[in-house]
């Protein structure tokens, strides 16, 4: 749930870390109300994982039952941030 610009930055930084980034650049205008840009050198996600991120309760972190014991990331638990969802027209 995004409640303020700082929450957006926190979520995007966590996504960068989950993607394996070791360099993260944050650019903010108008205290986050103008724009927030986070650029990193992480590996991103596959096209299939991007599509899966819109499925309720989906995760790419668990492929087999043993993976449950090894999840060590701060991902959003399959809930896409409202920031990235299409806006109604």
Please tell me what DSSP assigns to residue 25. E
pLDDT tens profile 27-48: 999 888 888 999 999 997 788 8
Q: What pLDDT is attached to residue 25?
A: 97
More confident site: 75 or 82 = 75
| b/e per residue 6-16 (b: at least 16 CB within 10 A) | eebeebbbebb
Q: Are 78 and 53 in contact (CB under 8 A)?
A: yes
Instruction: Give the contacts of 27 (CB within 8 A, at least 6 positions apart).
Output: 35, 36, 37, 38, 39
């Amino acid at each position: 749930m995004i409640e303020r610009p700082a929450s957006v930055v926190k979520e995007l930084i966590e996504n960068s870390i989950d993607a394996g980034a070791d360099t993260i650049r944050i650019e903010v205008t108008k205290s986050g109300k103008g724009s927030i840009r986070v650029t990193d050198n992480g590996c991103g996600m596959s096209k299939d994982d991007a599509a899966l991120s819109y499925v309720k309760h989906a995760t790419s972190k668990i492929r087999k039952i043993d993976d449950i014991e090894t999840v060590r990331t701060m991902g959003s638990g399959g809930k896409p941030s409202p920031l990235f969802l299409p806006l109604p027209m």
